[in-house]
Structure 1
Amino acid sequence: MKKIVLFPLNNDTELLIKNRSSEASYQIAAVTGFVEDKYRLEELQRESKIYCDVDFEKCINMADAIVFADNTMRHDYNGFRERVLKAIEKKKEIYINFALFKKLDISISKANIHFLQDETNLPQNDIKSLKEIETPVLTVLGLGENCDKFNIQIKTKYIIEKQGYKVLSIFSNPLGAFLDGEILPGFLYSKSLSFPEKIKMFNFWIYDLQEKYKPDIIVIGCPSGIAEFDEYEANFYGEIPLVISSAIKVDAGIVALYVNSEQDEKSAELLQNFCLRKYNTEVNNFIMSRQFFKVDHEWRKIQYYTVMDRKQFQHKSIEIPNFFISNIEDDVRIEKQIVQILDKFKNNFFVI
């Protein structure tokens, strides 16, 4: 069994630790992070019984491979670069997102590097027309980065499987590869492909997965956000969710909200109408993350934070007629939401 080290410590790596399967083909030998993560690492070690330390070299000496998670907390990329170079020096296997690796400007042999999402591997298909995807599709959308979409998708997969259905879970987060999921193909992020080409290629890619896995339902996590929500955060103008919804028929969607994006009946209806018109996706379900954002005008960017106490935010939006809104930690309410969506899908399940 391959032993791996996770770097850095963030919400995503903690979710991977919490949801790892006992039947996984790997063992998490250690977790390491930045110096400022010292106390959080100590707490994680007490909870998980996994060795945790800020000493990167000490940790990687315990493992065969290092998994570099995406830089969701927006640390200095030099910290990633130094650690990737150290892993290469130690002749360790490296698992990393291609987009992250590109930012590190490392001109060295990549013989021991596995890209979790490689946008250079483009299918060579002469695609004439789109194929029909018969399996019901549920998408997990969000207002932007860092709004618990990965967590929502993990919960959704677990709840649907609990109902007895076979799930094909397609993650936008590369760490989903370690949770028995597929990862969105790198060509979606390519700057050399046109919008129509991406639509056709994604349609064929999904069709092939449908034929391979024969799932009862497909759950797709959409990266970034559904629209520009600030002058410093364009969310790529919702390009990839639009490619996905143009390539296949999406039967329902769940939208992840920031904790400071409180909804009332009017705003929820506007958001619902926006998803229907732009993405042809019916949305009645929202999940409030534990993340909130602040606009940093000095650095001209968005900063993301995790709320420790929900009492500092008002949540009248939880009770809006005709909409279902949950807090991310409310597993009971989220399960009711997913089961309600499944009830709508039942007539489409070919297995029933």
Structure 2
Amino acid sequence: MYKLLVYPFTMEDSCITKYCNMLQDYELTSLVCLEGAYENGRAAGEFDGVETDLVITDDFNMEIDKCDVVLLLDKNFNELKDTYIKRINTAMAKNKIVMTNKMIYDFYLKEFSCNKNIRILDNIQEAGENFFTYDKRMSQPDIPVVTVMSMGENCNKFEAQLDLRKKFQDKGYKVLQFGTKDYCDLYGFIKIPSFLMSKDISIDKKIYMFNYYINKEVLKDDYDVIILGVAGGLLPVNRYVTNYFGEIPLVVSSALNIDINVLCLYHNNEIKVENLYECREFGKGRLGCFTDYYYMSDRQFRISYDHNIEYIILDRKYCINNIPIIEDETLKFCHVLDTDIKDSMLNSLVEELEENVALV
């Protein structure tokens, strides 16, 4: 069991502490924020509602001796490259393993020689001829496909993926899962392939490549279900915040027949049943499947005067007191903070597949 330090920890990645019992082969021992950050000195449970003895600190040098592995996130990396280099060098000097994404990994290698203790967290596939056939035929997996999409970034999408993983595994199903965070591997599943985010590959090639890739992965074991976290938002917010015009959801839904889609929404205590039906019909036209499952976040966003998007994590008590009530026979709705209703919705999702598809 490896002891894990997370740096820099922010409220946005509180899922790491909330779901720390799902980490595979890792024990979460240290949460280190940026120097002087809001989180410094606060209990980790303040952000996720989980009882824990972990206290967030900005003292990296003190915490580094408690861990075996440093998970280096890319929050503020572009503004703090020198700080990141210092943190990596400190970990290297103490013979710690550093796990990070390709952007930080490549930048570090430009400055320093390769070190076996720094490891890349990414799913990089060679985009060669093997990823699509010349006649461009596609085939569909013979097991159900469940997707998790969202209206935009920072919408508790990864939490929904972890909740689904736990529910299916608790019921004894073998899950083939691809997620949206760099650190999916720590939870035992795979990050979505990086070619989906490439700017140098056309949409039609991405569709054929992704279809080939998923079918290839399905053959590696006797899986019962595929769970796909889909990066990016489903549609633009406005002409400045485009969510890449929903490209990745379009690629995934074009490459695969989706059996069930879960849509993550920003917190909105005024949302109505008719609003969700509008989403349902939009999903049918855009994705080729109805979206009957909705997972509401504890987050909202606002657009600044210079057209940048800013994400806000709402007060936990406020959210719990303002969860909208959606009562409908067709639509299934839960809030990330309402554990009972959430569990009921996830049970309904599994039961729907069990009734309509022969899960073995």
TM beyond 0.5: yes
Q: CA deviation at 1:4?
A: 2.7
SS in 2 for 1:77: coil
Match of 2:41 among 34, 39, 42: 39
**Residue identity in the other structure for 2:309:** I
Offset, 1:145: 0.6
Q: Where in structure 1 are there 5+ consecutive unaligned residues? A: none
Which residue number in structure 2 is paired with residue 131 of structure 1?
A: 139
Matched, 1:98 2:108: no
Aligned with 1:302 (options 298, 305, 309): 309
**8 Å CA contact retained: 2:125, 2:193:** no
The equivalent residue for 1:330 is 338
Cα pair 2:320 2:337 within 8 Å, conserved: no
Q: 8 Å contact 1:285–1:323 — kept in the other structure?
A: yes
Which of 155-164 and 244-253 deviates more?
155-164
Distance 1:264 1:97 in 2: 39
Contact 1:12/1:69 (8 A) holds in 2: no
| AA in 2 matched with 1:55 | D
**How far has the Cα of 1:197 moved from its partner?**
1.6
TM-score by length of 1: 0.87
SS in 1 for 2:80: helix
How far has the Cα of 1:47 moved from its partner?
4.3
- Is the contact between residue 29 and residue 51 of structure 1 (CA under 8 Å) also seen in structure 2? no
Pairing 1:231–2:232 present: no
TM-score normalised according to structure 2 size: 0.85
State the alpha-carbon separation in 2 of the partners of residues 114 and 173 from structure 1. Answer: 16
Query: Does the C-alpha gap of structure 1 residues 287 and 310 become closer, same or farther in structure 2, counting only changes over 3 Å?
Result: farther
Change (3 A) 1:340 1:20: same
Matches within 5 A, 1:7-46: 7-11=7-11, 13-21=13-21, 24-34=24-34, 35-36=36-37, 37-41=39-43
SS at structure 2 position matched to 1:213? coil
Contact 2:3 2:26 in 1 (8 A): yes
For the structure 1 residues 81 and 220, does the alpha-carbon distance in structure 2 shift closer, same or farther, using more than 3 Å as the test?
Answer: farther
1:116 is matched with which residue?
121
Which residue of structure 2 lines up, in the alignment, with residue 281 of structure 1?
289
Alignment of 1:148-227 (within 5 A): 148-227=156-235
Cα contact 2:254–2:287 (8 A) shared by 1: yes
Separation in 2, partners of 1:118, 1:246: 21
- The superposition leaves residues 245-266 of structure 1 with CA deviations (integer Å, 9 ceiling, x where unpaired) of 1111110111111113743233
- How big is the shift at 1:142? 0.6
- Between stretches 202-211 and 181-190, larger displacement belongs to 202-211
Of 12-21 and 153-162, the range deviating more from structure 2:
12-21
Work out which of the residue numbers 55, 59, 82 in structure 2 matches 1:55.
Answer: 59
**Most deviating of 255-264 and 114-123:** 114-123
Aligned residues of 2:250 and 2:287 also touching (Cα < 8 A) = yes
Query: Residues 318 and 39 from structure 1, CA distance in 2 versus in 1: closer, same or farther, beyond 3 angstroms?
Result: farther
Q: Is the 8 A contact 2:298 2:319 kept in 1?
A: no
Structure 2 residue runs of 5 or longer lacking an equivalent are: none
Take 1:287 and 1:196, find their aligned partners in 2: how far apart are those partners?
30
Q: Alpha carbons of 1:324 and 1:55: their partners in 2 closer, same or farther (altered >3 Å)?
A: same
Contact map agreement 1:98 1:119 (CA 8 A) in 2: no
Cα deviation 1:215-247 (Å, max 9, x = unaligned): 211111111210001333211111111111111
Mark the CA change 1:39 to 1:62 in structure 2 (over 3 Å): closer, same or farther.
Answer: closer
Distance 1:306 1:19, change over 3 A: same
Alpha-carbon distance in structure 2 between the residues aligned to 1:340 and 1:304: 30
* Aligned residues between the structures: 348
Pair 311,86 (structure 1): closer, same or farther in 2 beyond 3 Å: closer
